[in-house]
Structure 1
């Protein structure tokens, strides 16, 4: 049987097409010949089955034959493209020793290390060089000299210059967020890749990997545990350019969605289908819907990029369903991930270098924003995140990349992700007499990266309280909504996929004029001396993003005046809640950009002027009591002076 399979492999490798490709491989100096499984199947079905059932025998035989044909040592045959992929959580004991294909997101990659394939040792006694083929995981050394006239024992020098090495790298594959429903934890699978397929992918890449599943004993060698660890030894690794747009829709799905596009109330129906079990919050639900649909990023001629993803921040009183909204959005998104700031994995929200379990060296591991690349990241309690994450998150939100330079690893990972974040007020409940940035423990520079802000208040009103209470009671009694939402979450997800896959709405001149007129009009209010700047260019860019997302939500390829007006309404509401100086009642974008309103900046400036004047009068330090007396006469409180 073995000879029969060997003859089939040899015949396959000597076929006309393969020999032609081998010549190309040799000319290019490559170490691998890549074939598709379909090609092997067409040549001989039995040989293809032999690969699946006995991959080690198949590849060992193919490797020896390839070396004989090409005279290139270490030339490998790699097989790509099995008929179907196995998800990580379905890789079980039955797959051990088999050739399988697994699809997922790469979350960790180690540095590339040299691995010995054939070691050379020089006998200290006679100088004879002994060659030891390195098979398995442990380094093998000679016990006795191969020279029959010597017989020296345990007296050898390792000859690095004559030893054969190959590149080695460990990877970690994780189930993609879009396959996780119902709160199931993602499973991981360790992988090992060698030779010219190292560094083919970086953390955050969506990959499909073929390889041989093997096991190694867990724990230390002397413990002799009965359980083993699964490791996929990679044959082929392909990076997929796969966002939510690549998900497959059936012809029936496409027909239903095209029919839906004719409905003039499509936007309202989508908004009503957002988190239907949560009562009210129409504006927040509209913002979440726009996040899910998103807009295309714009790559400019000079290499810069304008992001298309929309970032939303929810804050306010406890018990107002903020976390539930985040969890619903992460579950409904075609690719969504939910995590909590203080409970994020050891690598945090972006990326970090960690110790690799297989090699013991430093490796690069992706955080939540990288794993959710191309989708939505819902991060709760953003105000409690590690302060060290703040700078990395700045880059992740605006530039949509994360740069890592640590422990000899330098890399840039993609974070093309819409962020829906939740945060709690510093003082437990929202204080209407304090400015937005004073109540939330988030760096103002980070706050400025968000497009929309919502403050969720728990204000008692008899009618509102009764409506919410009856809504919740009905959920407990009948376990269903009093009125059915226009779309199921599954169908809404398909609409989002269709829209993102097929539509890139173009901004009409009329819509652009509406957005520009609004921006210029609001900015014009700042011309009067002493007035704060109410809106910045970032909010204008936000209007464009929201308008494009509105068009996508309406399944349209053109941004209309209506889309622009809806975007402006959301921005105005957001600035009313987060960008108004409570002291003056005026819109002031400095609250979000710098953390202080213009009136506060003016007070600080006046305090410094008074201190400088008093220093001149007293020939040195200004008396604090005198500073407080003068500032008090000008309406500046002692507490503000102390803070300054």
Structure 2
């Protein structure tokens, strides 16, 4: 059998095309020859079957022949592109010892370590050097000295300088989010990569791995268990960067979608298909639909990358279906994840340094935003994260990368992820008398990263309440009638995949550019009249993204004036809801950007001036009661004075020499 296998492998490796590829790789200094499985199958079906059923025999034979041909120690054959991939959750006992292919998200990588391939030991008695090939995972020493005049069973010293090492790395892959449905937990598979394929992928990469599945007995303290741990000894690593674009659509799917592109009402039908079980919320449904379609990032000549993903924050009273929207979107998005801020740590959302049980060292494990790279992350209870945890995603939202420096590991991971977050008001419900942006338990720096901030208010209105009650009743009595959408979630998902794969809208019409430009300029004109700043360049970039997303949702490559106007309406809705200064009744972007409006800033400065004036009268400490009386005489509310004093004490600009007085820290 061995001679037959060797003959067939030699015949395959001595083909002209194989030898040509081998010369090309050795000339480039590479120590791996990568072959498609189909090439082996076309050459000899029995040889291909031997690879699948007895991969260790196949590779040992092939590697020995390659070393003989090239005269290079460590030359290896690697096989890729098997006809079918096995889902990680479907790996069974029958696959042990077989050559298989799996797909998934790389969630953890260890540091690259040197692994002893051939260890050299020196006998302490006679000085003879003994070579021991390290075939398994555990270190082997000589049983006895090879010197016929010695033959002692010890002791031996390892000679590091003469030992042959190779690179070694442990990894972990997880089922991709797009293949999980019905609330299933993602399954994981550990793997080991050797030689020149280490560090080919980083956490968050979508990878296709081929390799030999082996098992190792599990232990519980000193006892051996009857169960075994699965480990994939990787032959080849293929990194797929495009994520959802790798999802295949059938010809019939593409034909249906192309026909759909001719429908002038396709955009409205898509919006109507978004969370159909929820009554109303048209602006939110439109915004979420645009987020699902997104637009391609823009890369400038100097390498600067402008993101194409839209970030949306939903702020609502209790019982306004925020969580339902988030879960629906995570389920429909081609690569969607749902998580809760209450249960997420900074590492859980971004990345963590974890102890690797295979290597014993530290490894990098991907968090939710890294795993959702190329897709969408729904984060519920966003306000429940502490400031440190929320700050961890600032870089992710704007630069779409995460820089990690933990446990001696320094790396940058991709998080090209659209974020849909939901939060509650600070005090449970919205207060009409306080600007909405000041009722959110979020740092203004984080709040400003969202393209759209949309509110869901639970306000009693007879007509709306009756319509809502009828809708909820029908969901229980006739669900098929009320939850009726033009497209079911599965087909909507296919439309999104097709659009993101094939359609890249451009702004080519000068009229479109003029509409966007005029909106930006006109809204900023009011500043010259003393009004607060209503919009910044961030909103302009968000507007461009939304206009392109509108065109993509229509399955068109050209952005029209209507697309731009729809995007403008959404931006206006967001600004008027979240950026309204309730006291001055004007839109003030500073409420979102800094957490305080222009009118409040002016009143705060006046409170400071009053404190300064009273300090001069009362020997350096202003009586708080006098400050309030003078401020109220100028139209500033007592509660606002209390708020300013407490906030500025926290910041260190004010202090109280006595409980009844206040003074400036810097005079």
* The two structures share one fold, judged by TM-score above 0.5: yes
Matched, 1:369 2:369: yes
Matched, 1:557 2:557: yes
Per-residue CA deviations over 1:406-441 (Å, capped at 9, x if unaligned) read 222221111111111111122112222222232222
What is the CA–CA distance in structure 1 between the aligned matches of 2:421 and 2:615, rounded to whole Å?
A: 46
Residue ranges of structure 2 left out of the alignment (5+ in a row): 648-667
**8 Å Cα contact 2:206-2:240 kept in structure 1:** yes
Matched, 1:517 2:496: no
Task: Return the offset for 1:223.
Answer: 1.9
What is the CA–CA distance in structure 2 between the aligned matches of 1:283 and 1:346, rounded to whole Å?
A: 31
What is the CA–CA distance in structure 1 between the aligned matches of 2:23 and 2:548, rounded to whole Å?
A: 51
What SS class does the counterpart of residue 291 from structure 1 fall into? helix
- Structure 2 matches for 1:346-385, cutoff 5 A? 347-385=347-385
Task: Return the offset for 1:151.
Answer: 4.3
Task: Return the offset for 1:328.
Answer: 0.5
Task: Return the offset for 1:234.
Answer: 0.3
Q: Which residue of 2 aligns with 1:419?
A: 419
Q: CA RMSD in A?
A: 1.8
Per-residue CA deviations over 1:273-320 (Å, capped at 9, x if unaligned) read 101111111110000000011111111112111111111111111111
What TM-score comes out, normalization by structure 1 length? 0.96
Q: Which residue of 1 aligns with 2:655?
A: none
Task: Return the offset for 1:619.
Answer: 4.7
What SS class does the counterpart of residue 212 from structure 1 fall into? strand
**Structure 1 residues 426, 410: closer, same or farther in 2, change over 3 A?**
same
For these two proteins, the number of residue pairs brought into alignment is 643
Q: Which residue of 1 aligns with 2:63?
A: 63
Worse-superposed segment, 25-34 or 612-621: 612-621
What is the CA–CA distance in structure 2 between the aligned matches of 1:622 and 1:149, rounded to whole Å?
A: 99
Q: Which residue of 1 aligns with 2:646?
A: 643
- Structure 2 matches for 1:137-536, cutoff 5 A? 137-220=137-220, 222-344=222-344, 347-482=347-482, 484-507=484-507, 508-529=509-530, 531-536=531-536
What SS class does the counterpart of residue 204 from structure 1 fall into? coil
What is the CA–CA distance in structure 2 between the aligned matches of 1:344 and 1:359, rounded to whole Å?
A: 27
What SS class does the counterpart of residue 219 from structure 2 fall into? coil
Per-residue CA deviations over 1:164-195 (Å, capped at 9, x if unaligned) read 11101111111111111121111111111000
What SS class does the counterpart of residue 342 from structure 2 fall into? helix
Task: Return the offset for 1:485.
Answer: 1.2
Q: Which residue of 2 aligns with 1:52?
A: 52
Worse-superposed segment, 479-488 or 292-301: 479-488
Task: Return the offset for 1:140.
Answer: 1.4
Q: Which residue of 2 aligns with 1:537?
A: 537
Task: Return the offset for 1:141.
Answer: 2.1
Q: Which residue of 1 aligns with 2:76?
A: 76
Worse-superposed segment, 430-439 or 542-551: 430-439
Q: Which residue of 1 aligns with 2:664?
A: none
Worse-superposed segment, 67-76 or 320-329: 67-76
What is the CA–CA distance in structure 2 between the aligned matches of 1:349 and 1:156, rounded to whole Å?
A: 49
What is the CA–CA distance in structure 1 between the aligned matches of 2:504 and 2:32, rounded to whole Å?
A: 40
Q: Which residue of 2 aligns with 1:85?
A: 85
What is the CA–CA distance in structure 1 between the aligned matches of 2:180 and 2:230, rounded to whole Å?
A: 21
What SS class does the counterpart of residue 454 from structure 2 fall into? strand
What SS class does the counterpart of residue 138 from structure 1 fall into? coil
**8 Å Cα contact 2:277-2:482 kept in structure 1:** no
Task: Return the offset for 1:377.
Answer: 1.0
What is the CA–CA distance in structure 2 between the aligned matches of 1:399 and 1:11, rounded to whole Å?
A: 52
Matched, 1:32 2:32: yes
What SS class does the counterpart of residue 555 from structure 1 fall into? coil
Residue ranges of structure 1 left out of the alignment (5+ in a row): none
**8 Å Cα contact 1:330-1:338 kept in structure 2:** yes
What SS class does the counterpart of residue 253 from structure 2 fall into? helix
**Structure 1 residues 332, 29: closer, same or farther in 2, change over 3 A?**
same
**8 Å Cα contact 2:346-2:388 kept in structure 1:** no
What is the CA–CA distance in structure 2 between the aligned matches of 1:408 and 1:457, rounded to whole Å?
A: 47
Task: Return the offset for 1:67.
Answer: 2.1
What SS class does the counterpart of residue 480 from structure 2 fall into? coil
What is the CA–CA distance in structure 2 between the aligned matches of 1:639 and 1:346, rounded to whole Å?
A: 34
Task: Return the offset for 1:143.
Answer: 4.5
Worse-superposed segment, 152-161 or 361-370: 152-161
What is the CA–CA distance in structure 2 between the aligned matches of 1:259 and 1:7, rounded to whole Å?
A: 55
What is the CA–CA distance in structure 1 between the aligned matches of 2:388 and 2:430, rounded to whole Å?
A: 26
Task: Return the offset for 1:605.
Answer: 2.0
What SS class does the counterpart of residue 242 from structure 2 fall into? coil
What TM-score comes out, normalization by structure 2 length? 0.93
Task: Return the offset for 1:640.
Answer: 2.0
**8 Å Cα contact 1:350-1:389 kept in structure 2:** no
Q: Which residue of 2 aligns with 1:121?
A: 121
What is the CA–CA distance in structure 1 between the aligned matches of 2:92 and 2:503, rounded to whole Å?
A: 40
**8 Å Cα contact 1:603-1:636 kept in structure 2:** no
What is the CA–CA distance in structure 2 between the aligned matches of 1:356 and 1:85, rounded to whole Å?
A: 26
**Structure 1 residues 254, 143: closer, same or farther in 2, change over 3 A?**
closer
